[in-house]
């Protein structure tokens, strides 16, 4: 069972990071971009995979000006906490889901 998002500064820190670094793209493209990755036993993230869809949840790539930014910024985001199970640090999967409206990030989930 997931223990929720584990990040230094919690969700506001993630939101603040993207607000600071993501440059909105003036294109009428909307939908979701999910970047999934692994956080290892040292709190480092890696093995990034991206999934993009339109507003009907159909797979559809965004313009690179949007998706490259989101992917790169996610890879550079640091602050993931180490997860312990039975006092031992373990690797875990994590994803960030970006709700995009007309080239702007309107929500970051979870």
Partner 1 sequence: MLKIYLFLLLIAFQNAYAQPNCNYYKLSGDQKKYEACKAAEKREGHYQFSWAYQNALDEALAIDSTFSYAYSAKSTAYLKSGDFVTWMELMNKAVEIAPADHLDYRGWCRFQFFRDYEGAIEDILWLKKLNKNHIGFSVNGDYHLDVALALCYKATNRTDEAIIILENKMKDTQFMTGLYDHLHLGVMYLEKGDYQKASEQFKMQEQKNDLAENRFYAAITSRLSGDEDSYHFHLKMAKKHYLNGQKMFDPYTEHIDKIFLTDITNEEQKNFKPDSLHTKGYVLRRQ
| Dihedral class, residue 99 (left if φ above 0, else alpha if ψ from -120 to 50, else beta) | beta
Piece in contact with partner 1 (CB under 8 A), picked from 38-46, 55-63, 64-72, 84-92: 55-63
Which member of 38, 97, 103, 104 binds partner 1 (CB under 8 A)? 97
Query: By the criterion CB under 8 A, which residues form the site for partner 1?
Result: 1-5, 9-13, 32, 34, 36, 51, 53, 56-59, 93, 95, 97, 99, 107, 109-110
């Amino acid at each position: 069972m997931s223990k929720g998002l584990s990040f230094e500064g919690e969700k506001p820190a993630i939101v603040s990071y993207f607000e600071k670094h993501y440059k909105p793209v003036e294109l009428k493209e909307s939908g979701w971009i999910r970047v999934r990755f692994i956080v290892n036993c040292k709190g480092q993230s890696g093995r990034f995979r991206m999934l993009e869809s339109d507003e009907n949840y159909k797979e559809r790539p965004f313009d690179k000006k949007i998706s490259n930014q989101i992917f790169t910024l996610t890879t550079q985001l640091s602050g993931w906490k180490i997860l312990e199970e039975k006092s031992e640090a373990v690797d875990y999967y994590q994803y960030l889901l970006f709700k995009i409206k007309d080239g702007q990030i309107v929500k970051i989930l979870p």
